[in-house]
Amino acid sequence: MIRVALSFLLLMLLVPSLCYALGTEEKGNRPLSDLNYADWKGIMPIVNAKTRVYQVWVNGNEYLCYKGKTRELNETLATFAKVDVKNHVVVLRPGPADRRAFDKTLVSLNWEIHLIGGLAKSRATDDIEDLEWQRDPVLTIYVTDEIDLDTLAIPEGVTLRSAPALHPDAKTNDETHSQIAKFIERHQRDAKE
């Protein structure tokens, strides 16, 4: 009986009561090492773009956040379409958007790349409809007045999706959703021609 009690006590001492995630962040656009992005050949021009304002990595679940205008976004889209991966998914959401940094400050952004590697990669999927756990990078664009859908250039080979707004101040009116739906419909129609 004592042996069982001691074994149980020892087991309880070895099991942590709190488990913290491993995470890093980088505000600004200091160049990041290409060694961390070897799974996605051709993505480094996007990773180290001057428009990057924030990067956060937690257990392999990484977001690279950007603030810019349509011209810079079109450059990102052109590069994104050339990244050596199976799926090139671009999601349009009503904006604005921001990320909360570890110090609780908000970082405003217009688009972001979501990458899954490390521990999180075990949960990744090839399902093109799974926008949160897609094995390949997913580019999400937050539609605001700073992003002009009329001049947004979607390259060949990119799959467009729409998703609901995430930010509480996002444009949730029917007009923004309608603009996104019409843009995707027009792009799909043009791609068939």
pLDDT, tens digit, 9 for 90 and up, residues 6-54: 444 444 445 454 445 578 999 999 999 999 999 999 999 999 999 999 9
Whether 2 maps to a domain, the answer reads no
Other beta carbons less than 10 A from residue 115's beta carbon = 27
Expressed in angstroms, the distance from the first to the final Cα of the chain is: 78
DSSP state of 67: -
Kindly report the pTM of this predicted structure.
Answer: 0.85
Let me know if 5 is exposed, middle or buried by CB neighbors in 10 A (0-12, 13-18, 19+). Answer: exposed
Closest CA to 110 of 102, 119, 124, 98: 98
Instruction: Please check whether residue 1 lies inside any domain of the structure.
Output: no
Q: How many separate domains does the chain show?
A: 1
- pLDDT for 20: 53
Q: Which residues pair with 57 in a beta bridge?
A: 24, 62
Assess if residue 29 is contained within a domain.
yes
Inside any domain, residue 42: yes
**Structural domain boundaries enclosing 164:** 22-192
Is residue 102 assigned to a domain?
A: yes
Label the pairing between strands 111-116 and 61-66. antiparallel
Examine residue 118 and state whether it is found in any structural domain, yes or no: yes
pLDDT tens-place string over residues 87-123: 999 999 998 899 999 999 999 999 999 999 887 778 8
144, part of any domain: yes
Angular region, 157: left φ>0, alpha ψ -120 to 50, beta rest:
left
The answer to the question of residue 148 being in a domain is: yes
pLDDT on residue 114: 95
